[in-house]
Structure formats: C-alpha cells, structure tokens
Amino acid sequence: MKDKNISYISILQIIGPIFVILGHSLNGLECTGLWYQISKEWIYIFHMPLFFMISGYLLAYKGYLGKRSYRVFVCEKAKRLLLPYVVWNLAFWIPKFFAQQYISDNATLNMRDMIKVFVFPRQNVWGHTWFLLGLFVVYLATPLFKYVIGANKHSSYIIVLIGAVFLYISPITTEFMAFSDIHKDLLFFIIGCILGQIEKDTFFDMMKRFRMGFIIGAIAFSVVAVYWYEETKILHFIPCTFILLSFLSLSVSAKEISCIWQNIATYSFGIYIMHWPIMIIVRIISHQILEVNVTVTALFMSIFGYAVPVIVITIIRALPLKRIRKPLKYLLGV
C-alpha cells in the first residue's frame, strides 16, 4: 500500500505557500531593486508550477482514477475545488466592495459582471482563486493522462512533453477558464505525473544522483532568466523545471518530518485561500492609512499572510465542530 503521508511532498506543501506569499509581498506597492527581482521575477517563474507539479505527482502516485469511476472522480474534484472557488469568491466580494477606495479595481454589484468573473478567474474578486478553477479543468483530462502517461512508455513521455512545451510557448492570452495560466502550468502537472509513476526506490535514487546537476542548473538558468527577464520569458520553463527538480531532490533527502510539520503541510490549501485578502488588509492599514514604508509593509504582509491562516486553521481544528467539519474540509482543507 502506498504511504498515506509522503514526507517529501509534505515538505513541498510547506514551502509552496511561503513562496506564494513572498511573491505577493510587493503587490500594490511601488518598489524596485533586488527584492523586486526575487519576488516578482524569480519566484513568479516557479511558485504556481510547484503546486501543479505536486498535484500531478499525487494524481499519478495514487493511481489516477484508482477504482473510482470518472463521474465519481469529477464529483470529488468539484467538491474539493469548485465548491471553495464559488463560496470564497462570493464571500470575498464583501470586503472588496467596502475596500474599493484603497484598491485599483472595483467590485461591482452588477449581476452580469459577477457571473462573468467566475469563468474569467483572473478578473475575479481577488484573482488568486484562478488556481482552483484551473486545476479542476486540468483534472478533467485525467483519463487522457492515465491512457497516455500511465502507459509507462518513454516514447509517450517524449511526445506529451513536447506537446506541453509547445502549449507553454504558445501565445494563449484568453483568461476564459484560466487558459492563460494553465497552458503553461500543464507542463509541470505532466512532469509531476511522470515522476509520480516511478517506483519509489528508483525515484529516490534518481533524485539523489542528479541533485547537484539540478541545483547547478537551477542557479545558472535562474540568473540568466532574471537578468534577461523579458527576453527569456518564452523559455522560463527551463529554469522552472530545474528549480522544481532541485526542490524535489532536496526534499527526498530530508529526514522524516514530525507530526507538527505534517499538520502544517495540510494547511497549505487554507493558507493559499486566505493569504491574499489578509495581505491586502495589512497593506491598506500599514501603507495606505498609516503610511508605513514599503519595506516594513512588505514584511508585515508576508508575516501576517502566513501566520494568520495558520492560527485560524489551528483554532478551527481545536474546536468541537463535528457538524460543519465536512464543509470546512472542502472550504479550508481542515
């Protein structure tokens, strides 16, 4: 039987939200220099592909559909992704409506506009929830992944990877159903699927054997990508791949993590959902009302963006909430 908790994936689930928060730490702030390059250029190369790679890895590791029918599988993913997508975007509408004087875009009460943003998620209430819809759209192709990638043929891997690279470099700009994002992130979901099928001992050996190559490649290609950011955008899948493989190769070398960190890993979904509204509130209070400088505001945004969701989820888990445990599981992953 496969391990219920995969410690090396749990490590990635811990660091993933941290990179997302650091990447968002300058949103809405005017800043240039080294931290801008790190947060808005380097981190943006890989922070969302990391989540897609993890999702693809776990999908393949657990046997794609498993013993479930496709209908049951889609229903499960709809509860896990579409339910929180709808509920949270409706809930987030309220604070955004009252904070319009402090933010650059408006939250109208026009029903047509409200319906439109649900199929154009980048235009949504806070925007970051596009990931939920985008990942659901990718999961709809699971039978295809199982048929093509699950066949365990190297020729199939090469063909599907070439196709994914072609999609990555294609100038797809429509935000409909998150296509402007998933046409790039699909490549890393597929890489995750391929890695998730490898027998565990072989996978560990491969990750350890090529670790230094992954790290050197990640550093070298990252420097090139950041230094010539605009000129190399079309090729950012190269540094991204090396960075993700570096993280994975380092995580498999780590010792088994404690139960506390395993729990923190399960917080990743809730942290992702809650972090951005919290960071916006901190930015409004710190920078726009109290006029605190950009550096301190970015620091506050990062700290509160991570700490508040962790505290909220910890409190929720400690409360006797048996009747609403299932809805909370879907809405916050608790």
pLDDT of residue 91: 82
Tokens of 229: 């950011």
Mean pLDDT across 144-169? 93
The 10s digit of each residue's pLDDT in 82-128 is 999 988 888 877 766 666 666 666 666 677 777 777 888 887 556 78
Q: Give whichever of 85-99, 107-121, 177-191, 308-322 has the largest mean pLDDT.
A: 177-191
Is the Cβ–Cβ distance between 239 and 187 less than 8 Å? Answer: no
pLDDT of residue 103: 66
In one-letter notation, the amino acid at residue 104 is S
What is the average pLDDT value for the chain, to the nearest integer? 90
% pLDDT > 70, the chain: 93
Distance CA 316, CA 330 (A): 14
The 10s digit of each residue's pLDDT in 194-250 is 999 999 999 999 999 999 999 999 999 999 999 999 999 999 999 999 999 999 999
pLDDT of residue 2: 46
The pair phi, psi for residue 86, each rounded to 5°, is -70, -50
Distance CA 89, CA 82 (A): 11
pLDDT of residue 98: 67
Residue 32 has pLDDT above 80, yes or no: yes
The 10s digit of each residue's pLDDT in 242-299 is 999 999 999 998 877 888 888 889 999 999 999 998 998 999 999 999 999 999 999 9
